[in-house]
Amino acid sequence: MRRQLLAAAGGLALAAAAPAFAQTGPFPNRPVKLVVPFPAGGPVDTVARTVGQKLQELWGQPVLVENRAGAGGQVGADVVAKAPADGYTVFVCSIHHTVLPALRPKLPYDIEKDFVPLTFGARFPIVLVLAPGVEAKNVAELTALAKKSPGKLAYASSGNGGGTHLAGELFDLQAGTKLLHVPYKGSAPAMADVLGGQVQMMFADAPTALPQVRGGKLRAIGVAQAQRSELFPGVPTFAEAGVPGYDAYSWAGFVAPAATPREVAAKLSADIARVLALPEVKARLHDAGAEPAPTSAEAFGQFLSAELAKWGRVVKAGNIQAD
């Protein structure tokens, strides 16, 4: 009887130890979660799902995409900031997370202090498109037209404080113009009114603009980033068109909770960057209006700091208020 009790106790001990033992070994050895702070189907979600599929093939472990939308990206960020720092929860952040601190100083997390950067993911070029009735043929002519009639030319955006809004505010600052901002609840209704001629222009992200430009429905006169876009190779940059130093685009990147072990963060960084460099991933993201651009963790950290400073200045100069 005593031997039976000891054997049973030993079996229970082994059973209790089994889950812990199963989680030892090289990272990752169980499912990894990518948290997207926006609804499924958007540009950031597309990057996450494309990368997640290839990571799953690389690791032989499930990679799950979880959409935690709300409050302009705050909900998902807060969830990951408070998640276990073991590498099994990764946050797919965006331009919104470098704008929000200036709009909402009392966020429940700090995008720099509460996260460790892994790699830049992909940029979504912003392109200035004009409705059919606008007379300007290029950025220089549009600038002259805007300066002639301050506050008369209007641009649509996907919402107050978003990337397409701030691209317009940055243009005003650097070109010396005063455009009228017309915010919408999303890119689709904003683009619909530009196509209909109710609003003269839009600083539109590539996923929204690409079908309209390729279909000949709208004219693209300038790409809002420092270098020409692979998606709009024939469209000059704003710098080429007479607004030197202008650089604005939407983007997605990867970060993890701040206390993530260094070796785990290094593997995540290297493997995500490796996946983003695959030809099939590049092709898939190009079709979705994105340009993959993996970086080192250090370079992405520097980028985040620069974006926080830049958009902080733009929010302050434009006196932009959160909705």
Domains identified in the chain and CATH numbers:
32-123+250-317 (3.40.190.150), 125-223 (3.40.190.10)
pLDDT of residue 242: 84
pLDDT of residue 207: 92
Instruction: Give per-residue pLDDT as tens, 224-277.
Output: 988 999 999 999 999 898 898 899 999 999 999 999 999 999 999 999 999 999
Strand partners, 251: 123
Alpha-carbon span 171 to 163, nearest angstrom: 12
Please, which pLDDT band fits residue 135 given cuts at 50, 70 and 90?
A: confident
- Please determine, for residue 18, whether its predicted confidence score (pLDDT) is greater than 50: no
Amino acid at 9: A
| Two structure tokens written together for 36 | 């997207």
- Among the residue ranges 8-17, 118-127, 227-236, the one predicted with the least confidence is 8-17
**What percent helix, strand, coil does the chain show, rounded to 5?**
45, 20, 35
- Asked whether 230 and 286 are in contact (CB, 8 A), the reply is yes
- Asked whether 82 and 52 are in contact (CB, 8 A), the reply is no
Please, which pLDDT band fits residue 24 given cuts at 50, 70 and 90?
A: low
- Please determine, for residue 202, whether its predicted confidence score (pLDDT) is greater than 90: yes
- Please determine, for residue 293, whether its predicted confidence score (pLDDT) is greater than 50: yes
Average pLDDT over residues 178-201: 95
Give SS3 for 156: strand
Instruction: Give per-residue pLDDT as tens, 36-77.
Output: 999 999 999 999 999 999 999 999 999 999 999 999 899 999
Quickly count: other Cβ atoms within 10 Å of residue 23's Cβ: 13
H/E run at residue 252:
strand 249-257
